């Protein structure tokens, strides 16, 4: 087991460049490490030689998608031999009606990750500057590095991203893009609509605010400023991966000025969104009753996780997402040891990767059974760490 954890620590590092570099690669590609931004729980299960009893680390919706979405995807499988329709008219039509905006203000892609990749290729050339928060969602950074952008970071203000500092840095370095996730991953915090709108108003000339709203359905509506498709200073990204429970389907969308939305047609993977996912997304959007039920269950699950954390002396941070970030009250070394001890006991969780955020662990809301497993093993794992047992 100790050998396994040594290999796990190595694997979780930033990666190393291959000794035998293929010089046909671009200079940018040659300079980058071989990196998997997120190690999948299935891969961890393979390495540990056993399945997890509680899958609480990937911020997935443990309840799954709407039964209507499952039925629609099942019905669509028979047509999987056909290419999808690149313009995705069916989904754009229902999204536009749902949001009260024209279809021209929408772009559809392979989840927010895929859309971020296209956005960065559209706006960032080698040497262009981009601003984000140190410790915020790392996939954005991954795309920026891939095109040779210069990434600048600002620290969190306690457990929140700092909109004023982000704008100040964007102005200082003449950034092309500035990124904010609201609600935030990995801390679960959220800014109100007025704060976000003030940030939009302050975006400097030549810059675009990338507003990642992946978790917005879990948050109060008062945290979302009104959509204004005439505003060229912001693009908003949302997804069917979180509250709609379709993470594996890889489908998300962007909301922006029509000129910005149309620009995605220049570079996007035109057949990247498959027919089955599209059918599921259309059906999921129509089932708002199921979404409302999910949001309520997630709220109750967050409270249960908070109770479990407090019982063990951890501080649950306020969350507007489908996870709870728990402050261990110690440092990153302690949090990493606690994460490993939980994994050794069959509980998969994750944690922020950068100090001082890495004093925390991050636990997704799971099923009632999974939360019971977490409640049972957290005190045991914490005891393992405190006594310095081999499992820790």
Query: What are the mean pLDDT values of the chain's consecutive 10-residue runs (392 residues total)?
Result: 39 44 88 86 94 98 98 97 94 98 98 97 98 96 96 97 98 98 98 98 98 98 97 98 98 98 94 96 98 98 98 98 98 97 97 97 98 98 84 42
Rounded CA gap, 165 and 364, in Å?
29
Looking at residue 52, its pLDDT comes to 97
In this structure, is residue 313 part of a structural domain? yes
Looking at residue 12, its pLDDT comes to 41
Whether residue 247 is found in the same domain as residue 128: yes
Parallel, antiparallel, or unpaired: how do β-strands 234-239 and 252-255 relate? antiparallel
Yes or no: say if 381 and 341 are a contact pair by the CB < 8 Å rule.
yes
Whether residue 123 is found in the same domain as residue 212: yes
Residue 231 CB neighbour total at 10 angstroms? 17
Domain count, the chain: 2
Rounded CA gap, 354 and 135, in Å?
5
> CATH number for the domain including 248?
3.40.640.10
Provide the terminal-to-terminal Cα distance of the chain, rounded to the nearest Å. 10
Yes or no: say if 66 and 290 are a contact pair by the CB < 8 Å rule.
yes
Long-range Cβ contact pairs of 12-20 (< 8 A, separation 24 or more): 12/39
| DSSP 8-state symbol, 40 | -
Whether residue 39 is found in the same domain as residue 96: no
Whether residue 41 is found in the same domain as residue 142: no
What is the pTM assigned to this prediction?
Answer: 0.92
In this structure, is residue 237 part of a structural domain? yes
Whether residue 214 is found in the same domain as residue 97: yes
Looking at residue 35, its pLDDT comes to 81
Looking at residue 20, its pLDDT comes to 60
Looking at residue 348, its pLDDT comes to 98
Whether residue 30 is found in the same domain as residue 49: yes
Whether residue 273 is found in the same domain as residue 130: yes
Q: Could you give the C-alpha distances from 156 to 67, 134, 140, 326, 340, in angstroms and in order?
A: 39, 7, 17, 16, 25
In this structure, is residue 189 part of a structural domain? yes
Whether residue 187 is found in the same domain as residue 271: yes
What is the span of the domain harbouring residue 360? 2-63+291-387
Whether residue 131 is found in the same domain as residue 275: yes
In this structure, is residue 163 part of a structural domain? yes
In this structure, is residue 392 part of a structural domain? no
Give all strands (DSSP E) within the chain, no chain letters. Answer: 54-55, 106-109, 129-133, 150-154, 177-181, 208-212, 234-239, 252-255, 315-316, 323-327, 347-348, 360-364
Whether residue 280 is found in the same domain as residue 372: no
Report the alpha-carbon angle 161-318-290, nearest 5.
105
> CATH number for the domain including 45?
3.90.1150.10
Q: Which of 234, 253, 286 is the last residue of a domain?
A: 286
Looking at residue 185, its pLDDT comes to 97
Report the alpha-carbon angle 166-172-178, nearest 5.
35
Q: Which of 268, 286, 304 is the last residue of a domain?
A: 286
Whether residue 325 is found in the same domain as residue 251: no
Q: Which of 286, 312, 339 is the last residue of a domain?
A: 286
Whether residue 128 is found in the same domain as residue 257: yes
């Amino acid at each position: 087991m100790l050998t396994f954890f040594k290999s796990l620590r190595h694997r979780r590092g930033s990666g190393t460049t291959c000794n035998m570099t293929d010089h046909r690669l671009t200079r940018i590609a040659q300079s980058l490490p071989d990196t998997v931004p997120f190690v999948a729980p299935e891969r961890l299960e393979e390495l540990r030689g056993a399945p997890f009893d509680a899958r609480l680390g990937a911020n997935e919706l443990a309840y799954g998608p709407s039964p209507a979405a499952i039925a629609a995807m099942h019905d669509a499988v028979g047509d999987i031999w056909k290419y999808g329709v690149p313009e995705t008219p069916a989904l754009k039509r229902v999204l536009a009606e749902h949001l009260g905006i024209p279809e021209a203000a929408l772009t559809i892609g392979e989840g927010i990750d895929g859309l971020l990749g296209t956005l960065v290729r559209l706006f960032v050339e080698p040497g262009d500057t981009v601003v984000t928060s140190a410790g915020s969602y790392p996939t954005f950074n991954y795309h920026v590095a891939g095109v040779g952008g210069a990434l600048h970071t600002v620290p969190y203000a306690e457990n929140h991203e700092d909109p004023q500092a982000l704008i100040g840095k964007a102005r200082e370095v003449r950034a092309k893009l500035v990124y904010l996730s609201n609600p935030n991953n990995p801390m679960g915090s959220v800014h109100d609509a007025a704060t976000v709108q003030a940030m939009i108003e302050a975006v400097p000339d030549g810059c675009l605010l990338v507003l990642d709203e992946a978790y917005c359905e879990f948050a109060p509506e008062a945290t979302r400023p009104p959509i204004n498709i005439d505003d060229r200073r912001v693009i908003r990204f949302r997804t069917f991966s979180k509250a709609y429970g379709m993470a594996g389907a890889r489908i998300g969308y962007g909301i922006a000025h029509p000129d910005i939305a149309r620009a995605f047609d220049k570079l996007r993977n035109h057949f990247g969104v498959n027919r089955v996912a599209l059918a599921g997304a259309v059906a999921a959007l129509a089932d708002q009753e199921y979404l409302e039920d999910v949001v309520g269950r997630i709220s109750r699950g967050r409270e249960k996780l908070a109770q479990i954390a407090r019982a063990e002396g951890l501080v649950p941070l306020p969350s507007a997402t489908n996870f709870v970030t728990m402050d261990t009250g110690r440092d990153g070394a302690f949090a990493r040891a606690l994460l490993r001890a939980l994994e050794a006991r069959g509980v998969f969780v994750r944690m922020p990767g950068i100090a001082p955020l890495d004093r925390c662990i991050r636990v997704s809301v799971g099923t009632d059974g999974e939360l019971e497993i977490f409640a049972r093993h957290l005190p045991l794992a914490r005891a393992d760490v405190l006594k310095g047992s081999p499992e820790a």
